[in-house]
Structure 1
Amino acid sequence: MARLPRLTIPNLPHHVLHRGNNRQTVFVDADDYQTFVDLLQQLAQTHLVAVHAFVLMPDHFQLLVTPQTEQGLPQLMQALGRAYVRYFNARHARTGTLWEGRYRSTVVEPTAPLLQCIIYIDTCAQLAGQAAQAADYPWSSCAHHLGAKNIPWLRDPAAFWALGNTPFAREAEYARLLAQGLSQRESEALAAAVNGGWALGGEAFVQQLQSTTERRLHKKSAGRPRLQPVKAE
């Protein structure tokens, strides 16, 4: 079956996943990770894409971003992928492809589902055994969101600001949500959405999006995983 075209909507968050070809290693050492972070910062600014969260894993990376234009995200991903491959192949004396075909992405409702997506990304390394604590992993946005590290080019979305009236309050509430984690159902819904390209959010959000495009935004079959809202105390 032919893949659905990717959906990119300006001024809405998008969860993005890109893997190494055949899940091969795409980041060998700290120099590779740092080079990719530097390219991401530079090219996101060039293509008018706000980065809210990220994680770089040995064989893939994930982003949560909001493009200002319809072409901003695809242009960012194309430029980022090509620039990093040139660097990686030259440094590691290799040729050929590095990435697995097309990147995967989904549009995310900018409320509770967005917070769940940030948690999903920030806990990825810990759940994969790459770090004892999520905030200890140096190649993610987790420490930034907890106030332990300042990454000035990251842009906290409105849903994150709504966690508290001060930076300390927001960081404390996010720490509570992070410790609480996601349920298996929530994690499965996030994974299914980004891998399938299905819109991530409540029924009203998905229906509103569907009214603007002919591209199908959810599975035809019943039982599509639904997110439970994250409630800030």
Structure 2
Amino acid sequence: MARLARLYVPDEPQHVILRGLNNQSAFVDAEDYALFLDCLKAASRDHSLAVHAYSLMPSAVHLLVTPREETSLPKAMQAVGRRYVAHFNRRYGRRGTLWEGRYRATVLESERYFLLCSRFVELRPVRAQIVADPVDYKWTSFAHHTGVVLDALITDHAQYWSLGNTPFERQRRYKEMIEQPLDERDVDLLEQATLKGWVIGSEAWLDWCARQANRRVSPLPRGRPRKARADEPAVEPGSEDDPQRRVG
């Protein structure tokens, strides 16, 4: 079966995961991390990609971004990969790809999932038990959102701005949210949606996305369709009652 094209919904954020090949390290020292951020900054500027949050892990990259155009994300990721992999291979005397195939991504409903995703991205070092406190890990956008530094790579999203009327209020409120435990059910839903390339949001929002993208945005139900009884009314394909439109 042909692979579905990547989803793009205008003005909607996406969670992106880029993994090292065979879980190998994609960063060795501070020079590598800093160069990757420089590559990302240049690519996001050149291809109209707003970066809202990031976390560079030893063997994976997590991003929260909003593409301004349909080609913004793929072109930016291609530009980053081309420049960074060339640097990594040259510096460490290796050849070939550094990443595990294509990046994974999901479109998400910002009102319900943006702040969850931002916290999830910036807490990756804590969840991986690299550090106990996110403030102790340099290669995320956490310091920007909590007022420690001003990160020129970051474009603040409207959902972040909604946390308060002043920078201090937003930073304080965001830090309070970071200190609260994540809902593991939502985290699992977010990760699975990203890895499988389906959108994440309310049912009404999924229907809206499907119309915007002009394609399915969630998996079909497993198994064969249930046979209708003789006394049941017919269901028009693609209508709101069609079970194939529901989230799997």
- TM-score normalised by structure 1 residue count: 0.92
Where do residues 117-136 of structure 1 align in structure 2 (5 Å cutoff)?
117-136=117-136
Give the distance between the partners of 2:182 and 2:217, measured in 1 at CA. Answer: 23
Asked if structure 2 preserves the Cα contact closer than 8 Å seen for 1:119 and 1:181, the reply is no
Structure 1 range deviating more: 206-215 or 180-189 = 206-215
Give the distance between the partners of 1:166 and 1:159, measured in 2 at CA. Answer: 14
**Matched AA of 1:162:** S
Matched residue of 1:217: which SS?
A: coil
Alignment deviations for residues 119-161 of structure 1 (CA, whole Å, 9 cap, x no partner): 1101011110111201221000111111112102311100100
The answer on 1:23 being equivalent to 2:43 is no
Aligned structure 1 segments of 4 or more residues deviating by more than 3 angstroms: 221-225
Partner in structure 2 of residue 90 of structure 1 = 90
**Matched AA of 1:82:** R
Give the distance between the partners of 1:136 and 1:200, measured in 2 at CA. Answer: 30
Matched residue of 1:15: which SS?
A: strand
**Matched AA of 1:8:** Y
Percent identity between matched residues is 43
Give the distance between the partners of 1:20 and 1:155, measured in 2 at CA. Answer: 26
Matched residue of 1:212: which SS?
A: helix
**Matched AA of 1:164:** G
Alignment deviations for residues 24-80 of structure 1 (CA, whole Å, 9 cap, x no partner): 110111111010011111111011111000000011101111111111111001111
Give the distance between the partners of 2:76 and 2:120, measured in 1 at CA. Answer: 22
1:9 CA drift (Å):
2.6
Matched residue of 1:191: which SS?
A: helix
Give the distance between the partners of 1:2 and 1:125, measured in 2 at CA. Answer: 36
**Matched AA of 2:186:** E
Partner in structure 1 of residue 144 of structure 2 = 144
The answer on 1:173 being equivalent to 2:180 is no
Give the distance between the partners of 1:182 and 1:4, measured in 2 at CA. Answer: 31
Give the distance between the partners of 2:9 and 2:57, measured in 1 at CA. Answer: 26
Corresponding residue pairs, total: 225
Matched residue of 1:62: which SS?
A: strand
1:220 CA drift (Å):
2.4
Asked if structure 2 preserves the Cα contact closer than 8 Å seen for 1:15 and 1:62, the reply is yes
Alignment deviations for residues 147-206 of structure 1 (CA, whole Å, 9 cap, x no partner): 112102311100100011111111111111111131110110110111011112111211
1:221 CA drift (Å):
3.3
**Matched AA of 1:58:** P
**Matched AA of 2:193:** A
Give the distance between the partners of 1:200 and 1:136, measured in 2 at CA. Answer: 30
Asked if structure 2 preserves the Cα contact closer than 8 Å seen for 1:16 and 1:105, the reply is yes
Give the distance between the partners of 2:56 and 2:10, measured in 1 at CA. Answer: 24
1:213 CA drift (Å):
3.1
**Matched AA of 1:97:** T
Structure with larger Rg: 2
Matched residue of 2:110: which SS?
A: coil
Give the distance between the partners of 1:182 and 1:2, measured in 2 at CA. Answer: 36
Asked if structure 2 preserves the Cα contact closer than 8 Å seen for 1:112 and 1:159, the reply is no
Partner in structure 2 of residue 183 of structure 1 = 183
Structure 2 residues without counterparts, runs of 5 or longer: 223-245
Q: What RMSD in Å do the two structures reach over aligned CA positions?
A: 1.6
Partner in structure 2 of residue 34 of structure 1 = 34
**Matched AA of 2:208:** Q
